[in-house]
Protein backbone atom coordinates (compact mmCIF):
# COMPACT_ATOMS: atom_id res chain seq x y z
CA UNK A 1 0.00 0.00 0.00
CA UNK A 2 2.10 2.80 -1.37
CA UNK A 3 1.15 6.29 -0.20
CA UNK A 4 2.15 9.60 -1.73
CA UNK A 5 3.52 12.15 0.75
CA UNK A 6 3.62 15.91 0.32
CA UNK A 7 6.37 17.25 2.55
CA UNK A 8 7.08 20.92 3.28
CA UNK A 9 10.68 21.72 4.18
CA UNK A 10 12.62 24.56 5.76
CA UNK A 11 16.35 24.56 5.19
CA UNK A 12 19.36 26.73 5.77
CA UNK A 13 20.96 26.64 2.32
CA UNK A 14 24.43 27.63 3.55
CA UNK A 15 25.95 24.18 3.67
CA UNK A 16 23.97 22.64 0.80
CA UNK A 17 25.10 22.56 -2.83
CA UNK A 18 21.52 23.51 -3.71
CA UNK A 19 18.38 21.38 -3.74
CA UNK A 20 18.90 18.97 -6.59
CA UNK A 21 20.96 15.77 -6.34
CA UNK A 22 24.42 15.95 -7.93
CA UNK A 23 27.22 13.40 -7.75
CA UNK A 24 29.41 13.77 -4.65
CA UNK A 25 27.59 16.86 -3.40
CA UNK A 26 25.65 17.44 -0.21
CA UNK A 27 22.28 18.55 -1.54
CA UNK A 28 18.85 18.78 0.10
CA UNK A 29 17.49 16.04 -2.17
CA UNK A 30 20.40 13.81 -1.18
CA UNK A 31 19.95 14.11 2.61
CA UNK A 32 16.18 13.73 2.26
CA UNK A 33 16.36 10.62 0.05
CA UNK A 34 18.92 9.16 2.42
CA UNK A 35 16.54 9.59 5.38
CA UNK A 36 13.50 8.27 3.48
CA UNK A 37 15.29 5.23 2.14
CA UNK A 38 16.66 4.45 5.59
CA UNK A 39 13.09 4.51 6.89
CA UNK A 40 11.82 2.33 4.04
CA UNK A 41 14.56 -0.35 4.20
CA UNK A 42 13.41 -1.70 0.79
CA UNK A 43 15.57 -2.53 -2.19
CA UNK A 44 13.64 -0.20 -4.43
CA UNK A 45 15.11 3.28 -4.24
CA UNK A 46 12.62 6.02 -3.36
CA UNK A 47 13.14 9.24 -5.31
CA UNK A 48 12.07 12.65 -4.07
CA UNK A 49 10.51 15.18 -6.48
CA UNK A 50 10.89 18.85 -5.60
CA UNK A 51 8.73 21.78 -6.73
CA UNK A 52 11.88 23.17 -8.33
CA UNK A 53 15.55 23.69 -7.65
CA UNK A 54 17.12 26.16 -5.30
CA UNK A 55 20.74 27.18 -5.83
CA UNK A 56 23.63 26.70 -3.48
CA UNK A 57 23.25 29.05 -0.48
CA UNK A 58 19.57 29.77 -1.17
CA UNK A 59 17.27 29.08 1.78
CA UNK A 60 13.76 27.68 2.06
CA UNK A 61 10.97 28.36 4.51
CA UNK A 62 8.46 26.25 2.59
CA UNK A 63 9.97 24.14 -0.20
CA UNK A 64 7.59 21.32 -1.23
CA UNK A 65 8.50 17.81 -2.33
CA UNK A 66 6.60 14.59 -2.89
CA UNK A 67 7.53 10.92 -2.88
CA UNK A 68 5.87 7.50 -2.69
CA UNK A 69 6.40 5.45 0.43
CA UNK A 70 5.75 1.70 0.39
CA UNK A 71 4.83 1.11 4.06
CA UNK A 72 1.78 2.19 6.05
CA UNK A 73 2.70 5.17 8.21
CA UNK A 74 0.76 8.25 9.29
CA UNK A 75 1.66 11.76 8.16
CA UNK A 76 2.65 12.60 11.73
CA UNK A 77 4.79 9.45 11.96
CA UNK A 78 6.54 10.40 8.71
CA UNK A 79 7.19 13.94 9.95
CA UNK A 80 8.68 12.74 13.22
CA UNK A 81 10.64 9.93 11.60
CA UNK A 82 12.20 12.23 9.04
CA UNK A 83 13.04 14.95 11.55
CA UNK A 84 14.74 12.41 13.78
CA UNK A 85 17.00 11.41 10.87
CA UNK A 86 17.55 14.63 8.96
CA UNK A 87 20.52 16.89 9.72
CA UNK A 88 19.65 20.00 11.75
CA UNK A 89 19.92 22.37 8.78
CA UNK A 90 16.89 20.74 7.14
CA UNK A 91 13.54 20.41 8.91
CA UNK A 92 10.18 18.96 7.86
CA UNK A 93 7.64 21.62 8.87
CA UNK A 94 4.56 19.92 7.43
CA UNK A 95 3.60 16.51 6.06
CA UNK A 96 0.41 15.29 4.36
CA UNK A 97 -0.76 12.16 2.58
CA UNK A 98 -2.03 13.26 -0.86
CA UNK A 99 -3.65 11.63 -3.91
CA UNK A 100 -1.36 9.74 -6.30
CA UNK A 101 -1.77 12.37 -9.01
CA UNK A 102 -0.48 15.17 -6.80
CA UNK A 103 2.88 16.33 -8.17
CA UNK A 104 5.04 18.89 -6.35
CA UNK A 105 6.25 20.38 -9.63
CA UNK A 106 3.49 19.87 -12.19
CA UNK A 107 0.44 20.72 -10.08
CA UNK A 108 1.82 23.87 -8.46
CA UNK A 109 0.32 27.12 -9.66
CA UNK A 110 2.61 29.58 -7.96
CA UNK A 111 5.57 30.33 -5.76
CA UNK A 112 6.51 33.06 -3.36
CA UNK A 113 10.09 34.20 -2.82
CA UNK A 114 11.42 36.53 -0.19
CA UNK A 115 14.67 38.49 -0.39
CA UNK A 116 16.25 40.11 2.69
CA UNK A 117 18.73 42.99 2.32
CA UNK A 118 20.78 44.18 5.29
CA UNK A 119 22.11 47.73 5.46
CA UNK A 120 25.01 49.57 7.03
CA UNK A 121 28.66 50.17 6.14
CA UNK A 122 29.79 46.72 7.31
CA UNK A 123 28.27 43.26 7.16
CA UNK A 124 26.79 42.05 10.47
CA UNK A 125 28.45 38.67 11.25
CA UNK A 126 25.06 37.17 12.15
CA UNK A 127 23.50 38.24 8.84
CA UNK A 128 26.26 37.38 6.40
CA UNK A 129 24.69 34.02 5.53
CA UNK A 130 21.04 35.13 5.77
CA UNK A 131 20.80 38.43 3.89
CA UNK A 132 22.21 40.20 0.89
CA UNK A 133 24.07 43.32 2.02
CA UNK A 134 23.84 46.76 0.39
CA UNK A 135 26.03 49.50 1.82
CA UNK A 136 25.20 52.31 -0.61
CA UNK A 137 22.45 54.91 -0.06
CA UNK A 138 18.92 53.74 -0.90
CA UNK A 139 15.76 55.73 -1.48
CA UNK A 140 13.12 53.14 -0.70
CA UNK A 141 10.39 55.40 -2.13
CA UNK A 142 11.96 55.01 -5.57
CA UNK A 143 11.92 51.24 -5.22
CA UNK A 144 8.28 51.35 -4.13
CA UNK A 145 7.49 53.42 -7.21
CA UNK A 146 9.15 50.79 -9.43
CA UNK A 147 7.40 47.76 -7.91
CA UNK A 148 4.18 47.95 -9.99
CA UNK A 149 6.35 47.63 -13.12
CA UNK A 150 7.57 44.28 -11.82
CA UNK A 151 4.03 42.89 -11.64
CA UNK A 152 2.10 41.49 -14.59
CA UNK A 153 2.89 39.21 -17.53
CA UNK A 154 6.22 40.03 -19.15
CA UNK A 155 9.06 38.57 -21.12
CA UNK A 156 11.78 38.45 -18.45
CA UNK A 157 14.65 37.70 -20.88
CA UNK A 158 16.68 40.57 -19.43
CA UNK A 159 16.40 38.90 -16.00
CA UNK A 160 17.47 35.34 -16.69
CA UNK A 161 20.91 33.86 -16.08
CA UNK A 162 22.72 32.19 -18.94
CA UNK A 163 22.29 28.67 -17.51
CA UNK A 164 18.51 28.72 -18.04
CA UNK A 165 16.95 25.98 -20.16
CA UNK A 166 13.47 27.50 -20.22
CA UNK A 167 11.92 27.66 -23.71
CA UNK A 168 9.87 30.74 -22.96
CA UNK A 169 10.88 33.63 -20.74
CA UNK A 170 7.32 34.85 -20.31
CA UNK A 171 6.11 34.64 -16.72
CA UNK A 172 3.46 36.31 -14.59
CA UNK A 173 4.18 38.02 -11.27
CA UNK A 174 0.94 38.45 -9.32
CA UNK A 175 2.45 40.44 -6.49
CA UNK A 176 5.73 42.29 -5.98
CA UNK A 177 6.25 44.22 -2.79
CA UNK A 178 8.98 45.82 -0.73
CA UNK A 179 8.93 46.87 2.90
CA UNK A 180 11.26 47.99 5.64
CA UNK A 181 11.85 45.65 8.56
CA UNK A 182 12.76 48.33 11.10
CA UNK A 183 13.41 45.89 13.93
CA UNK A 184 16.21 44.23 11.96
CA UNK A 185 17.18 47.28 9.85
CA UNK A 186 16.52 45.36 6.65
CA UNK A 187 14.68 45.83 3.39
CA UNK A 188 12.52 42.87 2.41
CA UNK A 189 11.26 42.03 -1.08
CA UNK A 190 8.49 39.56 -1.83
CA UNK A 191 7.56 38.15 -5.21
CA UNK A 192 4.59 35.91 -5.86
CA UNK A 193 4.27 34.54 -9.39
CA UNK A 194 3.33 31.55 -11.49
CA UNK A 195 6.97 30.58 -11.93
CA UNK A 196 10.44 32.08 -11.96
CA UNK A 197 13.40 31.77 -14.32
CA UNK A 198 16.92 30.85 -13.29
CA UNK A 199 18.29 33.63 -11.03
CA UNK A 200 15.32 35.85 -11.95
CA UNK A 201 14.58 37.05 -8.42
CA UNK A 202 18.24 37.76 -7.65
CA UNK A 203 18.69 39.75 -10.88
CA UNK A 204 15.45 41.69 -10.29
CA UNK A 205 16.52 42.55 -6.71
CA UNK A 206 19.94 43.78 -7.87
CA UNK A 207 18.24 45.95 -10.49
CA UNK A 208 15.73 47.32 -7.95
CA UNK A 209 18.59 48.22 -5.58
CA UNK A 210 20.26 50.16 -8.40
CA UNK A 211 16.98 51.99 -8.92
CA UNK A 212 16.87 52.80 -5.19
CA UNK A 213 20.43 54.06 -5.37
CA UNK A 214 19.67 56.28 -8.35
CA UNK A 215 21.98 54.45 -10.75
CA UNK A 216 18.97 53.56 -12.92
CA UNK A 217 15.79 55.47 -13.73
CA UNK A 218 12.75 54.43 -11.69
CA UNK A 219 10.91 52.85 -14.61
CA UNK A 220 13.91 51.02 -16.09
CA UNK A 221 12.04 47.68 -15.90
CA UNK A 222 9.81 48.81 -18.77
CA UNK A 223 12.88 49.38 -20.96
CA UNK A 224 14.47 46.10 -19.83
CA UNK A 225 11.33 44.13 -20.84
CA UNK A 226 11.68 45.63 -24.34
CA UNK A 227 15.40 45.08 -24.92
CA UNK A 228 15.36 41.40 -23.79
CA UNK A 229 19.08 41.64 -23.09
CA UNK A 230 20.66 40.12 -20.00
CA UNK A 231 23.76 42.33 -20.31
CA UNK A 232 21.55 45.36 -19.51
CA UNK A 233 20.72 44.07 -16.00
CA UNK A 234 24.21 42.99 -15.09
CA UNK A 235 24.13 42.35 -11.34
CA UNK A 236 22.86 39.30 -9.42
CA UNK A 237 22.10 39.76 -5.72
CA UNK A 238 23.82 37.07 -3.58
CA UNK A 239 22.16 33.73 -2.86
CA UNK A 240 22.34 34.31 0.91
CA UNK A 241 19.38 36.76 0.92
CA UNK A 242 16.97 34.54 -1.02
CA UNK A 243 14.27 32.36 0.56
CA UNK A 244 11.72 30.13 -1.16
CA UNK A 245 8.83 31.06 1.11
CA UNK A 246 5.82 29.16 -0.20
CA UNK A 247 4.71 26.88 -3.02
CA UNK A 248 1.01 27.02 -3.89
CA UNK A 249 -1.35 24.17 -4.88
CA UNK A 250 -5.09 23.83 -5.28
CA UNK A 251 -6.61 22.54 -2.09
CA UNK A 252 -8.68 20.20 -4.25
CA UNK A 253 -5.56 18.52 -5.63
CA UNK A 254 -4.47 17.58 -2.14
CA UNK A 255 -7.77 16.01 -1.07
CA UNK A 256 -7.74 12.25 -0.73
Instruction: Summarize the annotated binding site for substrate as residue ranges.
Output: 113
Candidates 12, 43, 55, 250; catalytic one: 55
252: exposed, middle or buried (Cβ count in 10 Å: 0-12, 13-18, 19+)? exposed
Q: Does 124 contact a copy of itself by CB under 8 A?
A: yes
Q: What is the DSSP pairing of strand 49-50 with strand 59-69?
A: antiparallel
Q: Does 83 contact a copy of itself by CB under 8 A?
A: yes
Half-sphere exposure of 157 (CA within 13 A, CB side): 9
d(CA 245, CA 192) in angstroms, rounded, equals 9
Contacts of 42 (CB under 8 A, 6+ apart): 70
Among 183, 231, 251, 252, the residue binding a copy of itself under the rule CB under 8 A is 183
CB nearer to a copy of itself: pick between 10 and 170: 10
Among 59, 112, 202, 216, the residue binding a copy of itself under the rule CB under 8 A is 59
Q: Does 128 contact a copy of itself by CB under 8 A?
A: yes
CB nearer to a copy of itself: pick between 8 and 200: 8
d(CA 150, CA 152) in angstroms, rounded, equals 7
Whether residue 55 lies in the annotated active site: yes
Residues engaged in binding a copy of itself (CB under 8 A): 10-12, 59, 83, 88-92, 121-126, 128, 130, 183
Amino acid sequence: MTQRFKVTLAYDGTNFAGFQAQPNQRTVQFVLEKAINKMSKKDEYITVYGSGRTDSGVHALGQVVHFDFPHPISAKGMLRGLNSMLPLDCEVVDCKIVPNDFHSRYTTHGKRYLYRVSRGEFVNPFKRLYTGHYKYPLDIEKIKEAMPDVEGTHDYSSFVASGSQAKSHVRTIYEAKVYEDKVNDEIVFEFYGNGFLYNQVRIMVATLLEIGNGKRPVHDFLRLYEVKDRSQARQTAPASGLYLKEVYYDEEDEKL
